[in-house]
Amino acid sequence: MRDTQLPGRSPVHATDAMAATSHPAATLAAIDMMRTGGNAVDAAITAAAVLCVVEPHSTSIGGDCFALYAPGGGDVIAINGSGKAPSTASVEWFQAQGLTSIDFQSPHAVVIPGCIAAWQKLSDDHGKKGLDACLQPAIKFAENGYPVHSVIAKAWEENADKLATDENSRQIFLSNGSAPKAGQIHHQPALANTLRAVANQGEDAFYQGEVAEHIVAYLQGKGGLHTLDDFASTEADYVKPISTDYRGHEIVECPPNGQGIIALEIFNILNEFEMQRHHPLGVERLHIEAEATRLAFRDRAAFLADPDLAEVPVEHLLSKDYAKNLCQLITMDRAMARLPAPGETSHADTVYLTVVDEDQNAISFINSIFHSFGSGLLDAQTGVLFNNRGASFVIDPLHPNCIAPKKRPMHTIIPGMVKKNGRSVMPFGVMGGHYQPVGHAHFITNILDYGMDVQEALDAPRAFAFAEQLQVERGLKTKVVEGLHALGHDVVEAGTALGGGQAIQMNWETGVLTGGSDPRKDGCAIGY
């Protein structure tokens, strides 16, 4: 149990159903959906749609979606709702333009949004209430307005210069010449109309007809390669989940093109160490975690891509022998000065939410536009703010993640699920761009290695080895930071909080649900 003399909050307990999201309005909308007959899938879509309105820096219907769904806590179903590059987006075209990379605010960074297709498929196949009912709360907030919450207001202000570069984004998000303050009411009427069209006509209203025509005209006007056929052919796909064992539990992730495989690689490396011997916020634990991250991210940079159009060595990267060889490269007295070649043993904004309903249906759900406010490009006619996920592509025909027609880019967003004895026991996720696989490992090890409850595991300070630096949150003690520096890590204070997360534990013996929500965001867990 936490020290009640220190800031923090307790986990939430309930018996019937629970939702945990990054925004109170989204959590409450999910609860209301279940109280009126909807199931976990309905509630998750409802919450995601609300977040697309009230948390615009993190997600949008112009973004992507991944989900893991365990009906009755059983076998996990994975869905990939990430968008594809336009059908004429060949590497040769980009080379002919003299481009060596894709700018984060370029129309070429915008992949065809996939989340609406994923919502429709999940609703049709596993929901009870229909997409129309799921979208009503979001429509209400977009039309009638919503108060901007504190963390969101800060992100909004930090991105004001970016939003000002696009006339439409400036008009919608900086309507009074500046970002709204916390508590200020914000409206998105054009987005309300688009959401209403999707509610009435389903996904076809987004991918065909007037909405698609407006979107394509806008993106083409910016120089994009997007066509109506690209939108009309958009589909979400069911994919086979991947997993690994950790401390007697099965950790389940979505397969590539997402980076869930990188989280599992980190788990496999950590599995070779007796992590519980080390203090949860001590030098040794954070050092091991950082070195495991460096090794796994080296593989991410080299191999992670769309498996339909590139060879991704999933079995090799997840093999126990590979992990054992990697862990031998980690020493406790010094950070690795040089990493071996990938496959050898010689940041961002997103919303994550999770729901468990009265029938023990559990869903782990993530929706994203990549960087804060995505590309910063917004179509005024539809109110749709576009992702910049395509900036993850590389302009190199020899690289697996090279851009190609109808190809999905390497993705950072990953929902997670924990199973034990064949049943799902905890849908979870830690949002935060590149940090997400590390966040998954840090959170789960907090619980399984250090016995923290779900809220403590989310609250605990974090560190992230990325781009040759070890970013640390201010919550870590000075002596720990100094100890990491002494081992050779280039330690810097994180510019922002590292990620955010939610989780719901399922106790199959008592029927009690226990949820937590990350204090780095505005949200909460609610159950009944």
463-466: strand order across its sheet: 463-466, 469-472, 491-493
pLDDT of the residue at 348:
59
Name the nearest CA neighbour of 457 among 20, 16, 55. Answer: 20
CB 318 within 8 A of CB 241: no
Query: What does the pLDDT read at residue 337?
Result: 86
Which of 46, 350, 412, 445 is flagged as catalytic?
350
> Which value, in Å, is the radius of gyration of the alpha carbons in the chain?
22
Whether residue 63 contacts residue 51, with contact meaning beta carbons closer than 8 Å, is answered with: no
**Which pLDDT value is given to residue 350?**
82
The pLDDT assigned to 1 comes to 65
Active-site annotation holds for 46: no
- Write the DSSP symbol of residue 258: B
pLDDT tens readout for residues 199-238: 999 999 999 999 999 999 999 999 999 999 999 999 999 9
User: Residue 347: what pLDDT?
Assistant: 53
CA distance 292 to 441: 10
CA-to-CA separations, 218 to 34, 225, 242, 383, 407, in angstroms, rounded: 38, 11, 38, 11, 22
pLDDT of res. 345: 46
Using a 10 angstrom Cβ sphere, with 0-12 exposed, 13-18 middle and 19 or more buried, the burial of residue 463 is: buried
**DSSP SS3 for 56:** coil
Whether residue 146 contacts residue 23, with contact meaning beta carbons closer than 8 Å, is answered with no
Contact 63, 82 (CB under 8 A): no
For residue 65, which amino acid is it?
C
pTM value?
A: 0.96
- Those residues of the chain that have pLDDT short of 70 are 1, 340, 343-349
pLDDT given at position 196:
98
Determine the pLDDT at residue 346. 43
